[in-house]
Structure 1
């Protein structure tokens, strides 16, 4: 049995990059929601615009996470 080490290394690298990227994107979404909460608490001091922007960014990050997971499931099923 012969192992193709180059292909194994390539799969490992892509898997590692995808995992780190997806976890980072999810983390940005959680941080965005936390910023939304703190900006909402201080909305009386001019933080209303920041609250909406933080929430929109967080939702965008979560939508990208869902899209990446759906694409991965599509690759597995196909």
Structure 2
């Protein structure tokens, strides 16, 4: 995706999707949540590709030791 506005929109979509998962399951391990999403990508109305991207975002957060990012989604593009 070469469109900067499209990249930002997708980053915001991923952040919002991952935040919703974290809010819905506040005490669950992020890696386990990512695995559950990947096991049932068909259940996501946004589509399987988006579900896999949300799972990857949860893993990125887990590796960084955070449940939610602070700051704007535009920093996720760096």
Work out whether the TM-score is over 0.5: no
After TM superposition, the score normalised by the length of structure 2 is 0.34
More helix, by proportion: 1
